[in-house]
Structure formats: structure tokens, C-alpha cells
Structure 1
Amino acid sequence: MIKNIIFDWSGVIKDSVEDHLFAVNKVFQFFGVRQMSLKELKEEWIQPHMMFYNKYLPALSSKQQTVVYKKAIMERVPKAYQNIAVLIKELQANNIKMVVISSDLVETITSELVIFGLNGVFLEVISNVHDKVESVKSLINKYNFNKTETVIIGDTNHEIEVGKLVGISTVAVTWGFTSETRLALNSPNFIIHNLRELKNLLIV
């Protein structure tokens, strides 16, 4: 039975795939790299995110990337995936403990929690995380999560890899930044295609 959930934010809760593509291409444009299509991005995106950028811009620093990406992403109007907030509140009503660990900027997540109607729903929201391994370990210990009752939900290779490293179940959703084919290569415990499947998995 699942009692604890570690959520990623963008690509899982926040419907930001097009926004992300826009911002990535702004980074590429600024530093003189050919822009990508959405299909290309879904096949090439990896996390921690500097692994992706340094494939194309080996000398690019995290600080340089953040300056351009932040300016671009702040131009976009944030939105949540349809009905995801309803499901999260249903999970809360079922006494499931939830946290968020994201590489997103603290400025964007703070406002988006309010916009999406999710402020105060999560035990904790950690942002600006490049590599999630230590943050996940820390939260599991802080809240005394039983690993057999805990899942991590993400849309990239990184959440799957982190879940395996810390010993919790992994749930990969296909509506985010990574294609289902590439998610499957990382062998998550579950691949989820829509909210109905996610609800059936999380709520017994």
C-alpha cells in the first residue's frame, strides 16, 4: 500500500513541456546552438539537467544556463495538467503524505502552488535541486517514510535512477519531458499513461 509520494513538479504536475522546449531553445539560441523540435527534446533530455546542456555546450556553467532559462520560463503562463490538482487533493484526503523535489526555480514553484490550488498540500517542497539523490534520502529520513510504502513519481530518467538508488518504487509518467520508449529503457516499476491509471495505482 502506498502511503508516501515523492513528486517531481514540471512534466508531472505542471504542464510545462511546451514551456520547457521554449526555454531550452532560448538557451540554445543565446549560445549559438541549433534549436530542437519537441520530438528531439523528448528523445534527448536527461537529468541532472546540466548533463543535457553540456552535451551541446561543454563549457556552459549552471549559472549561465539558469540566467537565460529563468528569463525565458518567466515569460510563460504556468498551468497544471488537467485534473492533476483534483487527484492530489484526493490523495491528501486518503492520508497519503506527499512531498515535491524539483529542479524548478523557487520563484516559479512558490507562485504555481497558489495558482494550482495546491498551497499547503505537501509536507515540503524543495526546489532548485540539480541532483535529487541526497534530497530524496534526506526527506525519507526526515519524515520517517517506510521505503516499502513510498514511491517517486517523475517523467525523466533521473527520478527512476534516484528511486532505485534509495530503494523505493519508481513511477514514470509519459506526459512529461521524456518519451515512453526512453523511460522504458530505465525499467521503472510502473509506466503510467494517464491520470486514471495513476489514481488506480495510488489509491486502493
Structure 2
Amino acid sequence: MTQKVIIFDFDGTIADTVDALVSIANGLAVEFNYAEITSKELVLLRNLTSREIFKYSGIPLFKIPFLLKKVKGELRNKISELKPIPGIQEALLELKENGNRLGIITSNSETNVKEFLKINNMDSLFEFIHSGVTIFGKTTIMNNVLRQKQLKTQEVIYVGDETRDIESSKKANIKVISVTWGFNSEQALIKENPDFLIHHPQELIKVVKNIC
């Protein structure tokens, strides 16, 4: 079997952070002048792309980097409370044992990710972690990682839970596996036409094995 490099998103894909992020966002609503997210609104937001969400919120574009920095800082205080997505640890371990190389590209902070992985005994599974401020996509970071690691696009697979993960992967010419257990709804993900769509971490094993 050809060795593959499987790069994961962090929030919503490996770590169950959706509730924590909504709570943090609501706590910052007054400071950044947007409405708090109700449970009804969350259903609506799950069906929107990143661009549509920020347009819906009415937050000026120049404020978004400051908001994201604040969110990551607040999340730092909740790392010890966060749990892995059920079944993801077992799937990651099996992927690693099958000879695949694993990495993470995330818009969360490297500090947050490393602490979460250490707390949950997952820090030995990943070869690299790359973090960057990515409002609408991760294409630039993906291309930088491909170049730095001297990776061929055909041997790389990205795994993520948002529509922007699909868009970024396509722009970087790498295959993308979308997962339905994170932020964006299945319907929203399908609209962006990912290479694969899965509903449980264990499905990763079969999909990766079948990718040439």
C-alpha cells in the first residue's frame, strides 16, 4: 500500500469544540457588536459557508482577525474540558499503524492543539502541526506545507469539517475527505462536492485504503 500523508483540521474534526466555540463567540458578542448565537441560529449557520457567516453576522472584515485571535485566547482556558470526537483516537491510531503519515493544519493556535493532544495522549500520532490565521481558507498554508515537506499532491489527503476545507483543498489540488460530525451540515458539505463524505471516524480507514 502506498504511504499517504493525511492532514487533519483540528476544531470539529479531531476535537469536539463546537459548543465551546459558540459559548466563546456569545461571550464576545457585545465587544464585537454582533448578536448572540441561539440554538435555532446555529442550525442556520451550519448550512452557511465562512463568507456567508461573516456576512450574516455583520462583523466588518477588518475586525475578524482580532475576533479570531480573541477566540483562540479564550479557548486556551477550555482546552482541559474538551474531548476528542468519539472514535477519532482509534481511527488515527489505525491510520498511523497502517504506515500513513499524519499532520494537522489548523486556524487554531499551535499551543492549543499541542496541549489538547498531550492531555488526550495523542501527541505521538502527528508528524507536524501548522497553524495560521485563515479567515476563509487554508490554501496558502497547505501549499507552504507541501513545499516545505516536499510532498506530492497525489499522496496528500485533507480531512475537515467545513466548506472552506473543501475549497482550500481543491485550490491546492489535493483530495479532501469531509466529515459530517463537525460544524458544517451534511447538506452544506455536499454542495461543495468533496471527494469523499463520511459520517464516522472509522470510515476513514476504508476511504484512505481505497485512494490510489
Query: What TM bracket, shorter-length normalisation?
Result: 0.7 to 0.9
Partner of 1:57: 59
Q: 1:73 aligns with which of 60, 71, 75?
A: 75
Write the distance in 2 (CA, Å) between the matches of 1:16 and 1:120: 21
TM-score scaled to structure 1, two decimals? 0.87
C-alpha change, 1:70 and 1:6, in structure 2 (3 Å) is closer
C-alpha change, 1:27 and 1:21, in structure 2 (3 Å) is same
SS of residue paired to 1:113:
helix
Write the distance in 2 (CA, Å) between the matches of 1:162 and 1:7: 13
Q: Note the C-alpha offset of 1:45.
A: 5.1
Q: Which runs of 4+ in 1 moved over 3 A?
A: 51-55
Partner of 2:50: 46
RMSD: 2.2
Q: Note the C-alpha offset of 1:101.
A: 0.4
State the identity %: 25
TM-score scaled to structure 2, two decimals? 0.84
Unaligned runs of 5+ in 2: none
Q: Note the C-alpha offset of 1:72.
A: 3.5
Partner of 1:109: 113
Partner of 1:21: 22
- Confirm or deny that 1:139 pairs with 2:141: no
Partner of 1:87: 91
Q: Quick one: which amino acid aligns to residue 59 of structure 2?
A: L
Write the distance in 2 (CA, Å) between the matches of 1:59 and 1:93: 43
- Confirm or deny that 1:127 pairs with 2:128: no
SS of residue paired to 2:83:
coil
SS of residue paired to 2:158:
strand
State which drifts further: 176-185 or 21-30: 21-30
Partner of 1:161: 167
Q: Quick one: which amino acid aligns to residue 103 of structure 2?
A: V
C-alpha change, 1:73 and 1:115, in structure 2 (3 Å) is same
SS of residue paired to 2:176:
strand
C-alpha change, 1:175 and 1:198, in structure 2 (3 Å) is same
Partner of 1:11: 12
Write the distance in 2 (CA, Å) between the matches of 1:8 and 1:45: 16
Partner of 2:31: 30
Q: Note the C-alpha offset of 1:187.
A: 0.4
SS of residue paired to 1:44:
coil
Tell me, yes or no, if the aligned pair for 1:6 and 1:150 is still in contact at 8 Å: yes
Write the distance in 1 (CA, Å) between the matches of 2:54 and 2:28: 9
Unaligned runs of 5+ in 1: none
Write the distance in 1 (CA, Å) between the matches of 2:88 and 2:36: 30
For these two proteins, the number of residue pairs brought into alignment is 201
Deviations 1:36-89 (A, max 9, x none): 233133123516xxx744642116524531354235423431211122112112
